[in-house]
Structure formats: structure tokens, C-alpha cells
Amino acid sequence: MAHILHIDSSPRGERSHSRSLTHRFVTDWKNAHPQDTVTYRDLGHHPAPHVDEPWIAAAYSEPKTHSPELQKAISTSDTLVDELLAADRYVFGVPMYNFNVPSTFKAYIDQIVRVNRTFAVNEQGYQGLVHGKKLLVITSSGGSYKSGTPTAGYDFQVPFLKAIFGLIGITDITFIHADNMDRGDEGRKESLTDASNAISQAVANW
């Protein structure tokens, strides 16, 4: 039995392509693995707070020294980190905004990438503390930024996600892209069909 953390970060509702695709995956996964459990978090409608000065003071000091103010400042981060560590697998819906992740998802990342919680620093450099996990990222974008194309250099989303989750130890990452969402009905339909087929393969093989 596995526990899945399912996160959506689009502020859109029913019109969100990334949301519909993550929910399609999780529904199909649960049908194939009814014993598995899922925790759902909606960052698009209920965003994580941004890091502020009290947060930094709390994150870089011993918990036993924390004042009530610092305890409050770090409490959301503690909850999100505990939730991340409790899961075996992750399904994240991440639309592309301005060639990278939405600010809602970046705020979440800033809450969970914590020294001595999800990564450490030693003589060899950075050491990830989150091991044995699998991550599925479903993205959506108005254009297409596939490797080898003239627009590939605009994709800061995939390299960033690989780097930041690799930093904390999550390197088994699968991407499913629903691109060309703003390139007309035919391009959108073709891309959604490809994404749907990739979801079916992921359910069978992930």
C-alpha cells in the first residue's frame, strides 16, 4: 500500500487543464490500486504563505528556542514538510506561467525545502534527505517548449523542478506535458490526447 500526495497549483477551477489531468490520473490510479491512500492539497485556491523574516529566524534556529511568534511563523512549513515526508509518491499539477512554475507552487517549494528537514549541508555539499519517493508532474502550457525545438530555451520549469526536487533527494521524476493549449482547437485536442495516453501508461507502469 502506498500513500500519495496530490497537489494542484492552478488558480483556475474546472477550466484548468492541469487539474483535470491530475484528477484523471489519481482516479485511474485509485481504481487500479484501491488500497492506496491520497492526501489532497489545493495550492491554487489555498496558497501557502510566502517566506518572511520570522520564518527565516525559525528555520535557522533550534525549535526549543522558539518564541510563540516563531512557532507560529514556521507551523505551516512544519505541516507541509511532515505531509511531504509521509507520502510515498507525489502527483503535482503545475501549469507554466511565464516559462516557470506559478507563484503558488514556488511559495510551496520555499516552505518545504528546509535545511535539516529535507536537505542538509556538509563537507561534500548539499545532501537530500527525502529518499525512495516517486514524483509525477503534469504540466500545461500555452505553447510548446520541447527539447530540440527553437523555443526549448524558454522552458525554465522542467530544469527548475528537476534541480529543486533533486536537491532534497527526489530524482525519480516523470513529466507529462499538455502543451499547445493556446494554439487552436486541433493542437489542444492532439496534446490532450497525448497527455491522456501518457497518463494511462503511467498508471500501468509508475
pLDDT tens for residues 65-124?
999 999 999 999 999 999 999 999 999 999 999 999 999 999 999 999 999 999 999 998
CA distance to 4, 42, 83, 107, 204, per residue, from 128 (Å): 20, 25, 17, 20, 28
- Please give the mean pLDDT across all residues of the chain: 95
User: Is the per-residue pLDDT at 205 higher than 80?
Assistant: yes
Q: Which of 17, 16, 71, 10 is nearest to 41 (CA)?
A: 10
Q: How many domains does the chain have?
A: 1
The most distant pair of C-alpha atoms in the chain lies apart, rounded to whole Å, by 59
Contact yes or no for 93/21 (Cβ under 8 A): yes
Task: Place 186 in a pLDDT band, splitting at 50, 70 and 90.
Answer: confident
Task: Place 148 in a pLDDT band, splitting at 50, 70 and 90.
Answer: confident
Contact yes or no for 145/154 (Cβ under 8 A): yes
Domain with 123 in it: 3-205
Q: Where residue 134 sits, what CATH number does that domain have?
A: 3.40.50.360
Q: What pLDDT is attached to residue 188?
A: 87
Q: Which of 95, 93, 63, 94 is nearest to 81 (CA)?
A: 63
Q: Give CA–CA dist 108/168, Å, rounded.
A: 14
User: Is the per-residue pLDDT at 14 higher than 90?
Assistant: no
Q: Average pLDDT in the 134-145 region? A: 94
Task: Place 141 in a pLDDT band, splitting at 50, 70 and 90.
Answer: very high
User: Is the per-residue pLDDT at 184 higher than 80?
Assistant: no
Task: Place 143 in a pLDDT band, splitting at 50, 70 and 90.
Answer: confident
Task: Place 161 in a pLDDT band, splitting at 50, 70 and 90.
Answer: very high
User: Is the per-residue pLDDT at 185 higher than 90?
Assistant: no
Q: Average pLDDT in the 173-197 region? A: 90
Q: What pLDDT is attached to residue 47?
A: 97
User: Is the per-residue pLDDT at 30 higher than 90?
Assistant: yes
